[in-house]
Structure 1
Amino acid sequence: MASHNELGFWGEQTAADYLTTKGYRILQRNWRCGRRDIDIVATDYTTLVIVEVKTRRDNSFTEPETAVDRQKIRSLAIAANAFVKQMQTDMPLRFDIITISGTPDTSCRINHIKDAFIPY
């Protein structure tokens, strides 16, 4: 596995562990709908939370959350709609971003942005 894939896998695991410690229940990881995917689908027992995870070794060039652009938001909205229909849930929906800055060999910084965007 390429090092950037390993970093991404580690970041998603770190985000899932973080959510679990905060009381969330992880429902799905890497849920796919065609070529679209949702990194983490979780619930805080009142809301269905769609989580996009962005992992970077450091923030030298840009903050990781800036990678969630218009196209990514649209893709997440389509995937979330498919997930809701497939699972036949009527829970309120929220879109979060979790950024992980660091590596498995160093300390990391986690930033959880709740209600990061409203899809258009």
Structure 2
Amino acid sequence: MTSSKEDYLTTRAKQIEKKKKLLSIVSIVSLIGSAGFGVTRLINYASQSHQPAIVSTEPSLQQQAQGYELVLQREPNNQVALEKLSLLRLQLKDTKGSGELLEKLVKQYPDRQDYKVLLEQMKKQQGKSDSVDK
């Protein structure tokens, strides 16, 4: 009876060894496959030119300004559109256009000190730039 038990144990040990080898082979193939996939993606990425895109904000500012101008065509006294458009024109270096909008805002909302202060600062800045230009 010990002989059949020993035969069973040796047979079972051989089966376990075969399964371990098979599992090892599958694991190695999987590892090599995933590493190969990663390397090919890396090579493809490196072969493509990746230069940073330089995006100008001015066209975007122009588009935003046009949008606010359309709003003002429908609603000439829209406070938000007047305020945003004046700020956009300042960013676009259109101080004259921005000043006109701010003057309109000051007339419509005389209690808003921020509009008055911004208009005064702009006028001072224009005065400085006019004296430098002469």
TM-score (norm 1): 0.24
Which has the larger strand fraction?
Answer: 1
State TM-score, norm by structure 2.
Answer: 0.23
Could you say which structure has the larger radius of gyration? 2
- Higher fraction of helix: 2
